[in-house]
């Protein structure tokens, strides 16, 4: 049985960021792009929440933004179709989920197969889902961290691109651990996007090889 192989394109890319909140990961990617460290531009910052602070930050940087309220759509399928249309209209090469608190429909995942990245604040496949820093504390792990992965229809289960580990300290709170993890998120997310547009990511099955 031959294995499907995907190689990321080496090109000047167009990125669409999807966010629902603060947007610090978006800013880390935008800074890297503005500094020429990533061969790409942010073509759209999109949110499901009109009042997301990350959208305001994007506007302040003069980047194109768009918010669409899910309430205006009949269901998730129609909503995600609209988001895909916005991406297609702008010739987007890569979608970066950056604190986007909506699960993408399988149709969305398929439309941009191998072209959606997410950052998750735990070492997947441990602690998928929400409130994962608290989950890590409650479990008693000695290390947690963050994961950049491709997005597939199964939530938090797509092929892993990069991970970074941080220690869990005895007196940690979920917030303190989240802060320590966030510092690493801001390093590995821009790095993963850079590797993508340098044409250096090769997906073979579940594994991502860095060329």
- Please report, as ranges, the residues that interact with ligand GAR according to CB under 6 A: 19, 21-25, 54, 98-99, 119-121, 182, 185
Q: How far is the CB of 16 from ligand GAR (least distance, A)?
A: 15
**What is the DSSP code (8-state) at residue 206?**
T
Residue 204 DSSP SS3: strand
Q: Output 24 or 163, the one with its CB closest to ligand GAR.
A: 24
Question: CA angle 182-187-193, nearest 5°?
Answer: 120
Using alpha carbons only, give the angle 182, 125, 78 rounded to the nearest 5 degrees. Answer: 80
**Closest CB to ligand GAR among 188 and 195?**
188
Strands, E, within 40-175: which ranges? Answer: 40-47, 65-67, 94-97, 116-120, 143-150, 160-167
CB of 148 to ligand GAR, least distance (A): 9
Of the candidates 12, 120, 149, 186, the residue annotated as catalytic is: 120
Alpha-carbon span 180 to 169, nearest angstrom: 10
**What tokens appear for 1 in the block?**
């049985």
Instruction: Kindly tell me which of 33 and 119 has the beta carbon lying closer to ligand GAR.
Output: 119
Residue nearest ligand GAR (C-beta atom): 99
What distance in Å separates the CA atoms of residue 195 and residue 211, rounded to the nearest whole number?
A: 9
d(CA 210, CA 202): 6
| Cβ at position 58, least distance to ligand GAR in Å | 12
Tell the smallest beta-carbon distance from residue 3 to ligand GAR (Å): 28
131 is catalytic: no
Closer to ligand GAR at the Cβ: 7 or 37?
A: 37
Which residues are catalytically annotated? Answer: 120
């Amino acid at each position: 049985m031959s294995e499907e192989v995907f190689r990321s394109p080496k090109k000047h890319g167009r990125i669409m960021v999807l966010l629902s909140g603060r947007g610090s990961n978006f800013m880390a990617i935008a800074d890297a792009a503005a500094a020429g460290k990533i061969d790409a531009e942010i073509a759209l910052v999109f949110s499901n929440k009109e009042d997301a602070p990350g959208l305001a930050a994007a506007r302040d940087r003069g980047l194109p933004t768009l918010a669409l309220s899910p309430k205006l759509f009949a269901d998730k399928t129609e909503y995600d179709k609209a988001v895909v249309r916005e991406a297609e209209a702008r010739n987007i090469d890569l979608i970066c989920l950056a604190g986007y608190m909506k699960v993408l429909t399988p149709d969305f995942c398929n439309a941009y197969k191998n072209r959606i990245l997410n950052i998750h604040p735990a070492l997947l496949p441990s602690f998928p889902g929400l409130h994962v820093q608290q989950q890590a504390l409650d479990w008693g792990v000695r290390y947690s961290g963050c994961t950049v992965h491709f997005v597939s229809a199964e939530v938090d289960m797509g092929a892993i691109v990069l991970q970074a580990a941080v220690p869990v300290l005895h007196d940690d709170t979920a917030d303190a651990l989240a802060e320590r993890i966030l510092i690493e998120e801001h390093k590995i997310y821009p790095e993963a996007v850079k590797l993508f547009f340098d044409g250096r990511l090769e997906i073979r099955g579940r594994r991502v090889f860095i060329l």
